[in-house]
Amino acid sequence: MTSPRGKYASEIAAAKAHAEAHWTTPEFRNYWLGLTEESRDFRAQQFRAFGELLGSVTGTLCGWRILDYGCGDGRWLRFFLEYDAKPEDVVGVDVSDARFALGVPKNPLVRLVKTDGATLPFDNQCFDLITQFVCFSAIPTLALRRHAAGEIDRVLKKGGYLFWWDSLKSNVPSERDAQIEPHDYFGWPMLRKDVARHSKPSEGLRPFPGARLAGRLLDRLSYSPTHVAALIGPKP
């Protein structure tokens, strides 16, 4: 029987090549890891969405066992610690050599694991929370995305949650502009928030009588959504 790694070998190789091509360029790192306006706005949106959605089910990450799927340079691993997760409870995985090389020296307090791109090297039902930030849109085929979803399901505890942040469309050349929707991979309860490059005007309004109506009117001027933030779960 062919192993998952062998079955998806070409897709995994394509995903690794795509990641290497992006993460090794100074332009990409300056744009997304630097202090550009786009990077600042994007990160602020991610923090807000994560806090709002996770905050609806817990007030702290202390005691939660967390896996970041496709951890990159580990920025979210460090962020989880700021929300009082314990270092021994936080794990990041990635398939890319370049991303892994960036992440290891930046995250001495948490465990990073290099994966084969097909199988998560963990026991069944061992995480309370799994996060994925712009990973599914970088997986080159529907079949491999479904396999990845199955692995996430396998290692997530019953009653656990998946936090999803991803593009609305695929970012890989082989499936450019293919729709990426979390409900295509997970049939659990979902809190969803569509996100644009810049925050909605209503999110910057101070409270005042009529603020809700004024916000709805101002939000008609918002940028079109480009990403989805979702809290998926609890897992049945």
Identify whether the C-beta of residue 215 lies closer than 8 Å to the C-beta of residue 201: yes
Strand-pair partners of 166? 228
Which uninterrupted H or E stretch holds 215?
helix 211-218
215: pLDDT confidence band, cut at 50, 70 and 90?
low
Distance, in Å, from the CA atom of 186 to the CA atom of 148, rounded to the nearest integer, reads: 11
Q: What is the pLDDT of residues 22-58, one digit of tens each?
A: 777 888 777 777 888 888 888 888 999 999 999 999 9
Fold for 4-232, please state it: Rossmann fold (3.40.50)
The arrangement of strands across the sheet holding 156-167 comes to 111-114, 90-94, 66-69, 127-133, 156-167, 227-232, 190-195
Token digits of residue 12: 């995994």
Taking the C-alpha atoms of 211, 217, 222 and 228 in order, what is their torsion angle to the nearest 10 degrees?
Answer: 70
**CA–CA distance from 122 to each of 8, 41, 67, 86, 153 (Å)?**
19, 34, 10, 18, 12
Domains in the chain: boundaries = 4-232
Collapsing DSSP to helix, strand or coil, 74 comes out as coil
Q: What is the tens place of the pLDDT at every residue in 61-98?
A: 999 999 999 998 899 999 999 999 999 999 999 998 88
DSSP 24: T
> Please, is 139 exposed, middle or buried when counting C-beta atoms within 10 Å of its C-beta (0-12, 13-18, 19+)?
buried
Residues 84-141: pLDDT tens digits? 999 999 999 999 888 888 889 999 999 999 999 899 999 999 999 999 999 999 999 9
pTM of the model: 0.92
